[in-house]
């Protein structure tokens, strides 16, 4: 895709110090056959994030830019995109740390594009739901007298990092297996399967192992490990996948 035009912003919402070229991928699949890049000159300060810069463009230069965000503090998982080719949260990436005069933003790979930088999460959320992301117990174990199911710090340690997942989809977007098998369960859901299976309060291990042990399931992963490298919350899906395989192969119980 070639850059089509450059628009220079009058610095209204960000006080000017330096300028960077923000190259935004524009694409409406309902009306166009392919994406095109448009360049915008945007002022930035040392605290300006990529999301701030996109919103500056949206406010001052092109209201039509499609971008999704909510919390602006790396909590909601809405603002994932490719920034200079690497998947990242736009609200958690500062312009200054990219060390580049041109910053290219594109929608994440392995997701359908809705418009510009916004992708569809339907499949990821339905796969997440499929692995039953909640504690499963028999009703009979929860009686009026039941107050707490206690765990030791060591038991919590086994799954706690996996519960930090914000469902941003960065791991799925960088997964080479997702790129070639659109039915692959994916690192996000597999990491969550491990999160609940490793929780001593949960009794759903058998169900979940059955769900992930199919032709588009856990065995399709060939351990590229890129999912763990891009996770902004320190989750290690690649390790979760290996630990899950241990259950399926009988090394873990």
Task: Enumerate binding residues for ligand FES (CB under 6 A).
Answer: 69-72, 74-79, 89, 91
By three-state DSSP, how is residue 59 classified? helix
Q: Nearest 10 degrees: CA dihedral of 207, 249, 200, 208?
A: -20
CB of 164 to ligand FES, least distance (A): 13
Identity of the residue, 22 or 117, whose beta carbon is nearer to ligand SF4 in the bound complex: 117
Q: What per-residue string of b and e applies to 145-155 under the rule 16 or more CB within 10 Å gives b?
A: eeeeeeeeeee
CB of 185 to ligand FES, least distance (A): 23
- CB atoms closer than 10 angstroms to residue 89: 28
Per CB under 6 A, residues contacting ligand SF4 are: 165-171, 188, 191, 231, 233, 235, 237
171: tokens are 């791991």
Name the residue nearer to ligand SF4 (CB basis): 14 or 231. 231
How far is 164 from 160, CA to CA, in rounded Å?
Answer: 7
Which does residue 21 bind out of ligand SF4, ligand FES, none, counting CB within 5 to 8 angstroms by kind? none
- Shortest Å distance, C-beta 177 to ligand SF4: 14
Per partner kind, with CB cut-offs from 5 to 8 A, the member of ligand FES, ligand SF4, none near residue 248 is none
Helix then strand then coil, in percent of the chain rounded to 5, is 35, 15, 45
Minimum distance, C-beta of residue 68 to ligand SF4, in the bound complex (Å)? 14
**Please, what is the minimum distance in Å from the beta carbon of residue 55 to ligand FES?**
10
Nearer to ligand FES, 76 or 96 (CB): 76
What's the CA gap between 245 and 169, in Å, rounded?
22
Q: Which option in ligand SF4, ligand FES, none does residue 167 bind, with CB closer than 5 to 8 A by kind?
A: ligand SF4
Q: Smaller CB distance to ligand FES: residue 57 or 218? A: 57
Phi (first) and psi of residue 167, to 5 degrees: 55, 45
The residue among 95, 99, 36 whose CA lies nearest residue 62 is: 36
Q: Report the residue number, 69 or 184, with the smaller CB distance to ligand FES.
A: 69
């Amino acid at each position: 895709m070639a850059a089509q035009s450059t628009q220079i912003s009058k610095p209204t919402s960000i006080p000017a110090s330096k300028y960077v070229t923000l190259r935004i991928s524009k694409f409406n699949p309902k009306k166009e056959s392919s994406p095109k890049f448009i360049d915008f000159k945007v002022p930035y300060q040392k605290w300006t994030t990529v999301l701030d810069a996109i919103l500056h463009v949206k406010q001052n230069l092109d209201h039509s830019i499609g971008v999704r965000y909510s919390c602006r503090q790396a909590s909601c998982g809405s603002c994932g995109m490719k920034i200079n080719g690497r998947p990242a949260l736009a609200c958690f990436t500062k312009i200054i740390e990219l060390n580049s005069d041109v910053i290219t933003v594109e929608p994440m790979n392995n997701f359908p594009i809705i418009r510009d930088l916004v992708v569809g999460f339907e499949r990821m959320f339905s796969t997440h739901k499929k692995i039953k992301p909640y504690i499963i117990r028999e009703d009979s174990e929860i009686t009026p007298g039941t107050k707490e199911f206690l765990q030791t710090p060591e038991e919590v340690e086994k799954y706690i990092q996996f519960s930090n997942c914000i469902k941003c989809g960065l791991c799925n977007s960088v997964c080479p297996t997702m790129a070639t098998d659109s039915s692959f369960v994916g690192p996000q859901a597999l990491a969550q399967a491990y999160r609940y299976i490793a929780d001593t309060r949960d009794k759903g291990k058998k169900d979940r192992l059955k769900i992930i042990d199919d032709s588009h399931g856990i065995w399709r992963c060939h351990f590229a490990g890129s999912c763990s490298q891009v996770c902004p919350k320190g989750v290690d899906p690649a390790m979760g996948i290996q630990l899950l395989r241990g259950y399926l192969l009988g090394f873990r119980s």
